[in-house]
Structure 1
Amino acid sequence: MTRVALVVRGGWDGHQPEQTTDFFVPFLDANGFTVRVEGSPSIYAEDAFMDTVDLVLQVNTMSTIEPEEFAGLQRAVLRGAGFAGWHGGIADAYRNNADYLHMVGGQFAHHAGKDPADRIGEQSDNYIPYTVHITELGATHPITQGIGDFDLVTEQYWVLSDEYNDVLATTTQEVRPWDAWHRPVTAPAIWVREWGHGRVFVSAPGHKLDVVQNPNVRTIIERGLLWAAR
């Protein structure tokens, strides 16, 4: 039976919402989804269509969401639709809506930058080497099973979260001489969350196309999309 995947993308262009989501559309096609792509969350308010959706893939950094749009998205998830995304497209979206943040379970707070003396005023000022550590739960979860710790050079998200998340991988922000914090801070890097009858999947790594093309990140996202889908 064909399932329906809705891709909602937009927001800040620096996260390459079109390129990154286009990269996964063939995967969704190959796994039996009919894919619809929208450039704003206004589609969430269309209950008749949302009732047909099995998976929402969202990459829509910052932006805003209207009350009726969020109500439609939450209704779909509560009724069993999956909700998935990466980086700021899901964990730094709709800051105006606390209920959205509650459903997602994690909010971007910071990405540690390079030494101020080495910054040039570009996105790359925030690209640093770090390790994604698979948790004990992640070692046995279908999304991350068989994947070991791996290294990236990109934005390292400091995420505010809660204990309801099932955390599959973490990352630790170390303390450098120029940082404001005084001890290392470990935050979720990959997490899932059950919400009503739906499932939520979030990958903090995913800043740009080259990051989601990383073999480990790509595998995790592909598995996460299938895990979340109704």
Structure 2
Amino acid sequence: MPEPEDELGPKIADAFQTKADAVRGLRERGLAAEARRRIRKRRQTLIAGAAAVVVAFSIGGVWGAIGGPSPIATSQDSSSSAGGSAKEAAPEVPATVTPCPEQHPVLTAGGHEAVPLGTGLDLEMPVYGLQACRYRVLPDNTMLLGSQSFNATTAQQIVDAIKVLPERNPDLPVFKCAPELAKPSEAIVLRFDTASGIREVWVGYDGCASAGFFTGSRTYGLYAAPLKLFMKGTVRPTEGTYLDHLEGW
């Protein structure tokens, strides 16, 4: 028997409402699931990106905005470059100081002015250090009396102070003495380190024949300015014929 029309209407409406609720529930659950999926995917992307950055920094690269590595100079490259520049800029400097020899040609040369050929210093050459050697040069008494080392700065100052001097100091006396008295009792040898090896300047301040700085090719007068730069410690004489008439040394 057919149902009355007034009862059929509400049932149809309830059925549609139930279907709609079911569809809405499915849609909401789907949207929620999709949202959770997207959140998981975004989290995974962020984790993967962070891991990539860690790896990039661990191998020394820095990633730019487009994802490419920006090269950074390593300490080895920098040191190699700096080392090459320093090697080109710095002159060859002797690594060690050569000590004063116990037996030196000045002991037998017959005078502080007799510098052997090829031994003397060209005062225009750069110098990198100095060993000052004071010797007793009497025929029956020869020995090393003292020595003193100086760095490149002081060595160059001594050279600069010598090379501006005239050939003779006119304030010093000219002695007339017998040959046996003319010989000095001591002399100083300045042994300079250069790129060509040891080069010397012999210094005469005793006896009565001559005084000054001798290179074998040039003679420079005896003045106090260079003397006071290296006459220190055991290199400093207690007296000398010309020193007794020279002030300021």
Higher RCO structure, 1 or 2 (CA under 8 Å, sep 6+): 1
TM-score normalised according to structure 1 size: 0.27
Identify the structure with the greater helix proportion.
Answer: 2
Q: TM-score, normalised by structure 2?
A: 0.25
**Greater strand content:** 1
